[in-house]
Amino acid sequence: MLLKKTQYALYALLNLARNYKKGPVLISIIAEEEKLPKKFLEAILADLKTQGLVNSKKGKGGGYYLIVPPEKIDIASIIRSFDGALGLLPCATINYYESCSQCKDENKCALRSVLRELRDQTDHFLKNISLLDLIEKEKSLEMIESRRS
Amino acid sequence: MLLKKTQYALYALLNLARNYKKGPVLISIIAEEEKLPKKFLEAILADLKTQGLVNSKKGKGGGYYLIVPPEKIDIASIIRSFDGALGLLPCATINYYESCSQCKDENKCALRSVLRELRDQTDHFLKNISLLDLIEKEKSLEMIESRRS
DNA sequence: ATAAAGTCTATTTGCTAAGTAGGGTAATGA
DNA sequence: TCATTACCCTACTTAGCAAATAGACTTTAT
């Protein structure tokens, strides 16, 4: 399961992506629109700024805004930066690798071998979804739903 | 990431699977062979017994043994029983579904839609790996490694 | 009987997620 | 300039839970 923080970060980024190149968005607006706890959101946006995905402007007319194009931000990297590894075991990850104290020889560990495969599959899946993809998906879901009524 | 408990359970089950129909195995033997903390392992085996995967025999010559054929036990179900959901968000799971307080309309949530797809993919992958598969994989990995020397 | 082996209940330790509080500081525009 | 707006920063709280340990108890084979 993802951390709340990760989930909130994704919602916040989606909001900013929808307003890409439309000027800064207030923290309070994002918090309200996405129903996120404001103070918590502040911390998340600060992280995203450190990561170089967003920037902020102080004073009247200020707020946060995306500085990387939505099609260049993929979900895998966002999840990784907040939640950490995608793999299910430390010995089955790439970026967060840690050897496993149980195994005599990791290269003979069937569990690791299989979970590595899964990790690669998951990584591949998430790496190929950008914020822009999500926004477009939103629109098409909207269409489908409205056609129902 | 999986809980230690889940990882240990998988190792313990693999050990029992290797000894399927060869009589009970002592907790201490499993603990030693798989390098697992004995007391913790006790609790895990008790859980597995409740789940109906293993049985135990008390007294001299006792121990634990698998009562379901290794090819009938898949990793997805083991992971689920210890770790819980496979999906990354409560709203993107099947067995542990919980609605998400952020969304006005879940059916229009692009994130959920995408994470559901991932969940299905993960589930499919793990459901098709049995303890027997892992044991066979072990053997083939063993072969590959020994050929290296 | 008695040693072997699983069973049960309780407790510990420490970490971390999730969120809160509140004052500080910087930028803006009137 | 100066008040306001809005982000920035440090600290704290609360609760839950993972991971493991301790020790006494019960059952069974010989």
**Tokens 């496979």 correspond to what residue?**
B86
Query: How many CB atoms neighbour CB B135 within 10 A?
Result: 16
pLDDT over threshold 90, residue A100: no
CB of B114 closer than 8 Å to CB of A10: no
Domains contained in chain B, number: 2
Residues B45 and B83 occupy one common structural domain: no
Residue nearest to nucleotide D7 (CA to C1'): A58
Asked whether B114 and A129 are in contact (CB, 8 A), the reply is yes
| Chain A, nearest residue to B31 by Cα | A102
Distance CA B58, CA B134 (A): 29
Same domain, A28 and A54: yes
CB atoms within 10 A of CB A78: 20
pLDDT in tens, B93-116: 988 998 888 888 889 999 999 999
Half-sphere exposure of B137 (CA within 13 A, CB side): 17
pLDDT at position A147: 84
More confident residue, A103 or B77: B77
Average pLDDT, chain A: 94
| pTM listed for this prediction | 0.94
**What is the model's pLDDT at position B60?**
87
> Looking at residue A43, which CATH number applies to its domain?
1.10.10.10
- Angle value at C-alpha B114, between A124 and A44, nearest 5 degrees: 85
Amino acid of residue B15: N
The shortest CB-CB distance from A142 to any of B35, B108, B114 is to: B108
Q: Is A90 helix (H, G, I), strand (E, B) or coil?
A: helix
Q: Is residue A146 domain-resident?
A: no
In a mutational test of the A interface, the residue from B114, B119, B132, B145 whose CB has the highest number of chain A CBs within 10 Å is B114
Asked if B19 and B61 sit in the same domain, the reply is yes
Q: Which residue range forms the structural domain that includes residue A50?
A: 4-66
Of A18, A46, A66, the residue at which a domain comes to its end is A66
